[in-house]
Amino acid sequence: MRILIADDDVTSRLVLKAMATKLGHECLIATDGSSAWEYLISEGVDVLLTDWMMPGLDGPELCRRVRDELSGRYIYVVLITSLANQEQVLEGMGAGADDYLTKPVDPFAVQSRLVAAERVTTLHRQLVEVSAQLELANAEATRLSLTDALTGLGNRRRMEEDLVSAHARAQRTGRSYGVALFDFDFFKLYNDHYGHFAGDDVLRRVAKSFDRTVRLGESVYRYGGEEFLLLLPECRGDDAVIAAERIRNAVAKLAIPHDFKPTTPPVVTVSGGVAMWAPGSSLCVDEIVKRADAALFEAKSSGRNCVVVADQSFDEQLEGVSSLG
């Protein structure tokens, strides 16, 4: 262990150092409370053996600082006093000391305190390691709970959380944002003729294409089934359309064969619908998504493999919109 001996008496320092070194420990020496504190914050000390009375910071104040300001790691503190006063011992314990010694120090007493110190500091290091592992495991569990298992994109839960955050931020900053919904064209026909395993593979390939194509600040999620949602924070209408077209074109460029598709080109394509929220709008998140869905419905009705932007006429279509597949 690395032990810091803080004492203004040279004889006491030498005796304690000799005892600790003989037991195989590394020793640092401080001649007053202030220099002891500098060691404590910079030298990775495991055990502090500190005199009660010292220039600068006294022993109890050093204990309090260790417990209040160095809580990220555990330092075992032993107060050394020339007074075998029970009230003083309790005062030191209340300040944060783990144990105490009385002068003149006895070698056996020092050895027994250091054995206890090594046991306690080892246990605290193990607890820190376990805590760090648990934090990593919790972070991974949280990540998985927000990730779609098939595509690796954000799932519906992650999407809803991010949409609420983006909407609140837009209201707060007075900046617009966009939402685009995408749906595979004739995906049922693809599944029927190529099989569901091939359909899952296409979903994964297209999802990777989405992930590669989105720009900084944009996010894409699996909305459900073969539908995906693109969130465009702080985005103007023209930019939202450009982003949606970029996504649509990226999927077409994959050139995944879809020979049973009744329209050209005979490759997997997607249709998209875009909706915007603008400052001053009374629309909520769900209504923005419904407008994007209505625009997607219009894209499907217009021949597919295209992007349509929602306008006011879609407000009348928000109820009962259904997908064309």
pLDDT at site 92: 86
CATH pick for 156-317 out of 2.20.28.10, 3.40.50.2300, 3.40.190.10, 3.30.70.270: 3.30.70.270
pLDDT of 236 > 90? The answer is no
pLDDT, one tens digit per residue, over 258-313 is 999 999 999 999 999 999 999 999 999 999 999 999 999 999 999 999 999 997 54
pLDDT at site 93: 87
pLDDT, one tens digit per residue, over 2-16 is 999 999 999 999 999
CA dihedral (54, 57, 61, 65) positive or negative: negative
- Residue 139 pLDDT level (bands cut at 50, 70, 90): confident
CATH pick for 2-139 out of 3.30.70.20, 3.40.605.10, 3.40.50.2300, 3.10.20.30: 3.40.50.2300
Residue ranges of domains in the chain:
2-139, 156-317
pLDDT of 88 > 50? The answer is yes
Tally of CA atoms within 13 A in the half-sphere of 186 that contains its CB:
21
pLDDT at site 84: 63
What pTM does this model have?
0.62
Task: Give catalytic residues, as residue numbers.
Answer: 226
pLDDT of 234 > 60? The answer is yes
